[in-house]
Structure 1
Amino acid sequence: MTIIVYFHHSSYRNFKSYYQQNLAKYHQKEFPCLVSYNRFVELIPDILMPLILYLNSRKGKITGISFIDSTSIPICHPKRAKRNKVFLGLSGWGKSSVAWYFGFKLHLIINDQGELLTFQVTPGKTDDQVLVPTLTQSRFNCLYFSREKTLLKAR
């Protein structure tokens, strides 16, 4: 989990380059039992649940103003999507504002201090609006949708 989190904080855009050129060369002392890149890629699906549990333990408090958004998490180039076996049956096709991608979608709600309140990872094709009731269930009393300028009360 640590390696994945630090990759996203690094300036690398490609995980393979990060793993082989940075971790394997300069961080052997921090990770003495570092496995090969291919083996690490095979182990990535196994860390998804522990990572979700960790993030659930780090949630912030509701402060009054919250923001909800989603972002795409592509797992491979679209040309290689049919050959992808790492997240077989879990990922899916989705369309962002830029292009089509194959992977997941991260939906999250943060408070005005930037603390994570709730989140959910879904296949790429999941519609944002369908997930709002699930994300806000038992956490919020009312929701204000700025696009429609409507106020919805929770049941």
Structure 2
Amino acid sequence: MEVKMLERLMESFCTVDDFCNAFLPQWKADLIGNGTAPRAPELGLCVSEIITILLMRHGSQFKYLKSFCNEVIGEVLCRYFPAMPCYERFVALQQSVWIPPLHFLCSRLEHRISIYYIYSTALAVCHHRRIGLHQTFAGLAARGKTSMGWCFGCKLHLMFNHLNETVALKLTPDNVYISNFL
């Protein structure tokens, strides 16, 4: 494996881990709850490992997360991520920890330069049969059409410059078109 890729992995992980060590205790203290922690299975990977894997996939040539997890993480980097679950479990893990990566991206926003790319992804909040009962994202979630079909939820718009640095991000209802982000 290339030394450059390992150096990038270590640098990314250290940056993300430092952020998580500072952010997570404050975030957990600010959460509103009834005082008891819900019973759930262990994550297997820590939040900083999940964010690092997502950042590495973004910087790679892989188009799909599944092929990246199976080929790079599963075969090449398996000794650096010994607790890496299967792809399906990793997708569930990444969906359960989406607040810390969002704050990490906001903390790393770069100055606007010249050429920009916008990436939008739909974040489904509930199954389409439960739209009438859904109340958590009542003011933000909406029905919208994606390339994969209809979805009820939000859209995360990310703007990158020509150096692949995140310049801006915005969370909108799912029916907002990408040109309205500008």
1:72 correspondence with 2:120: yes
1:24 correspondence with 2:74: yes
The Cα shift of 1:116 comes to: 4.3
Which of 96, 118, 125 is the aligned partner of 2:168? Answer: 118
**TM-score normalized by the length of structure 1:** 0.53
Query: Aligned runs of 1:65-144 on 2, under 5 Å?
Result: 70-73=118-121, 93-94=144-145, 105-108=155-158, 116-128=166-178
Take 2:89 and 2:164, find their aligned partners in 1: how far apart are those partners? 35
Unaligned runs of 5+ in 1: 76-80, 83-88, 133-155
The Cα shift of 1:47 comes to: 2.5
CA contact (8 A) 1:107 1:121 kept: yes
Identity %: 24
Letter in 2 for 1:43: L
Take 1:119 and 1:48, find their aligned partners in 2: how far apart are those partners? 14
Take 1:113 and 1:19, find their aligned partners in 2: how far apart are those partners? 24
Take 1:91 and 1:24, find their aligned partners in 2: how far apart are those partners? 36
Take 1:108 and 1:53, find their aligned partners in 2: how far apart are those partners? 13
2:176 alignment partner, SS class: coil
CA contact (8 A) 2:155 2:171 kept: yes
Letter in 1 for 2:90: F
1:8 correspondence with 2:58: yes
Give the root-mean-square deviation of aligned CA atoms. 3.9
The Cα shift of 1:59 comes to: 2.5
Residues 61 and 29 of structure 1, relative CA distance in 2, 3 Å threshold: same
The Cα shift of 1:52 comes to: 0.7
1:40 correspondence with 2:83: no
1:54 correspondence with 2:101: no
* Shift >2 Å, 4+ stretches: 59-62, 65-75, 89-95, 99-118, 121-124, 127-132
Residues 66 and 109 of structure 1, relative CA distance in 2, 3 Å threshold: farther
Larger fraction in helix:
2
Letter in 1 for 2:145: G
Alignment partner, residue 78 of structure 1: none
Alignment partner, residue 145 of structure 1: none
Letter in 2 for 1:31: F
Residues 72 and 102 of structure 1, relative CA distance in 2, 3 Å threshold: farther
The Cα shift of 1:20 comes to: 1.4
